[in-house]
Structure 1
Amino acid sequence: MREVKYAQLSDLEAIVAIDQQVIGHANRRGEIERAIREQACLVIKEGNLKGFLLFHTEFFENAFVSLIIIVPEERRKGYASSLLKYFEKISPRKKIFSSTNQSNNEMQKVFHKNGYSLSGMIENLDPGDPELIYFKYKENH
């Protein structure tokens, strides 16, 4: 059964392993551990861990989903959408923002599928690959 919930410290190693598999290093370990301790990390499990989401709620007094990572062989099965939908339900803020690189077509599709609108672009974060900002009003705002 698919389950989305707040990550626990017992999930840390599995989350870091997924992150390392995707980005090639474990440099975000401290950030992930801090997010778990602050209840700013969600995980999705269906048997085992399929992915995670990190968020902040103080982005210009709005919510910001800073990272969604799904195990590569488990992508395109709705896990990212499930994480986003759960976050939308629990977000204490009415406006939710997120971003992805212009080159990340799959994540752009996830945002569009879930009703997020393009809100802007930031140049110079990753040379030659602008960051696209997406936005959605929380349901029942």
Structure 2
Amino acid sequence: MHIRLAGLQDLPALIAIDTVTRQDPQRAEQIADWLGQYRCLVAEIQGKVAAYAVMHRHFFGCAFIEMLMVGENHRRAGLGAALLACIQADCRGQKLFTLTNRSNAPMRRLLERQGFVASGVVENLDEGDPEQIYCWRLDQSERPPVATGHR
């Protein structure tokens, strides 16, 4: 696995692995916007994009993971954890937030394994499926998570 910054050249690969684009064609435009505006990382397996993460600092002045997407053929292989670990390493000493639907048990488990704690709920974004907010902050006495990929 290799983790690197994403660029506009990665747009077709990100669209291909993003499961939301199948139901919402406007998602491709959203991904292009993310690539142009925010910090985007990709995880590659044998030179091919297999996962990506998007982070910005527009959540009440704090770092926020806007998206973490692992291609369907690469799930449960540690790519999400490696991308999270890279972002966490960059956010040492700062608060880092993200959110996920309550129904997304695999993502909730991943966040909890990476040291995130539940920090609130947002209702009414997805009808009947509230968003759980998570926060991570590295205390001075803690060690940062171990990244399994290369930067």
Structure 1 length as normaliser, TM-score?
0.90
Structure 2 partner of 1:45: 44
State the partner residue of 2:34. Answer: 35
Letter in 1 for 2:113: K
The 2-side partners of 1:80 and 1:139 are apart by 22
- In structure 2, the residue corresponding to 1:33 is in which secondary structure? helix
Q: Give CA deviations for 1:75-118 in whole Å, capped at 9, x if unaligned.
A: 01110010111011223870000010010000001001101000
**Do the aligned residues in 2 keep the contact of 1:16 with 1:26 (CA within 8 Å)?**
no
The change in CA–CA distance for 1:97 and 1:46 in structure 2 (over 3 A counts) is: same
Once the two structures are TM-superposed, the CA of residue 30 in structure 1 deviates from its matched residue by: 2.3
Residue 76 of structure 1 aligns to a residue in which SS? coil
Q: Which runs of 5+ in 1 are unaligned?
A: none
- TM-score of the superposed pair, with normalisation by structure 2: 0.84
Partners of 2:139 and 2:71 in 1: how far apart?
Answer: 28
Counterpart contact for 1:44–1:83, Cα < 8 Å:
yes
Give the CA deviation at 1:139: 6.1
Higher relative contact order (CA 8 A, sep 6+): 2
Displacement of 1:140 after TM fit? 4.8
**What RMSD over aligned residues (CA atoms) do the two structures have, in Å?**
1.8
Q: How many residues align?
A: 138
| 112-121 vs 131-140, which moves further | 131-140
Moved over 3 A (4+): 138-141
What's the counterpart of residue 65 of structure 2?
A: 65
Is the partner of 1:37 in helix, strand or coil? helix
Q: What SS is found at the alignment partner of 1:43?
A: strand
Q: How far apart in 2 are the matches of 1:18 and 1:98?
A: 21
The share of aligned pairs that are identical, in percent, is: 31
